[in-house]
């Protein structure tokens, strides 16, 4: 008996789960922008969106936000339809075609995102700007307990980072152990906040996270014992630049 490609099975499991989430989101938000009669029509629309993005040479963060939001809604509509009419489970050719166009879109968007140096503030702006669909789902009654967990989680790690930030602004002396702890607590909000935690940020928390992101190169330079104002940026911003690229790649991989 012929065995299916393990990669195809992996895609199937992931996308069925994504389709279930898409269905929950659709039930708790406005009518979806895309409305297709059959899977072939939906996949053709995905190819058209991919072609549009491929034509771009570069993109601002706002443009990336807009493109990702359109794709998420298009992908959710397509997945919901393919699960509802059993295309995802029973038509391997169409399912594989959808997996391929999804992978291609992720690669093109990643290329555009990394075409120029992005700051941590850029990464935060991208994550917050593309969290609307998850926010709509989490505001439903079914996710009440999850909302409480995320609001408490966000509050704790942002308060810890803010405390470190305030100590640094007051030029508090730090020994080696304190420096290591402060470095982790400053990076933690960007590392530990997943897509759903980001969706549950309050406006004030979004502002706090953005300010921390903007000041991160200076804050990390302080804990590393460097003079941010008088040292080359290649030294003081090296760690924050590496982290920004890493977090950007991880986020795009998870959201697309």
User: Span 3-15, mean pLDDT?
Assistant: 50
Contact call for residues 58 and 112 (beta carbons, < 8 A) = yes
pLDDT, residue 4, reads 47
Q: Answer whether residue 109 shows pLDDT above 90.
A: yes
Contacts with 182 (C-beta within 8 Å, 6 or more apart), sequence order: 164, 167, 168, 174, 223
Greater model confidence, 32 or 44:
44
Closest C-alpha among 36, 21, 41, 48 to residue 105 = 48
Under 8 Å between Cβ of 134 and 196: yes
Q: Which single residue is written with the structure tokens 């080359």?
A: 232
pTM greater than 0.75: yes
pLDDT at 118: 95
The answer to whether 135 and 200 have CB atoms below 8 angstroms apart is yes
How confident is the prediction for the chain on average, in pLDDT? 87
């Amino acid at each position: 008996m012929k065995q299916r490609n393990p990669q195809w099975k992996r895609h199937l499991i992931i996308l069925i789960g994504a389709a279930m989430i898409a269905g929950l989101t659709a039930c708790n938000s406005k009518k979806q922008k895309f409305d297709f009669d059959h899977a072939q029509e939906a996949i053709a629309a995905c190819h058209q969106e991919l072609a549009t993005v491929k034509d771009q040479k570069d993109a601002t963060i706002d443009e990336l936000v807009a493109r990702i939001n359109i794709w998420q809604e298009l992908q959710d509509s397509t997945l919901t339809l393919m699960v509802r009419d059993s295309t995802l489970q029973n038509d391997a050719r169409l399912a594989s075609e959808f997996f391929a166009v999804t992978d291609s879109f992720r690669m093109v968007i990643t290329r555009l995102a990394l075409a120029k140096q992005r700051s941590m503030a850029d990464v935060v702006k991208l994550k917050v700007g593309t969290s609307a669909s998850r926010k709509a789902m989490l505001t439903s009654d079914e996710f009440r307990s999850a909302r409480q967990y995320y609001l408490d989680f966000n509050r704790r790690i942002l308060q810890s980072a803010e405390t470190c930030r305030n100590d640094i602004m007051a030029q508090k002396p730090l020994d080696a152990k304190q420096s290591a702890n402060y470095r982790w607590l400053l990076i933690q909000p960007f590392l530990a906040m997943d897509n759903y935690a980001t969706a549950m940020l309050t406006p004030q928390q979004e502002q706090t996270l953005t300010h921390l992101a903007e000041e991160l190169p200076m804050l990390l330079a302080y804990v590393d014992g460097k003079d941010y104002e008088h040292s080359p940026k290649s030294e003081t911003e090296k760690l924050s630049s590496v982290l920004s690229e890493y977090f950007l790649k991880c986020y795009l991989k998870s959201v697309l």
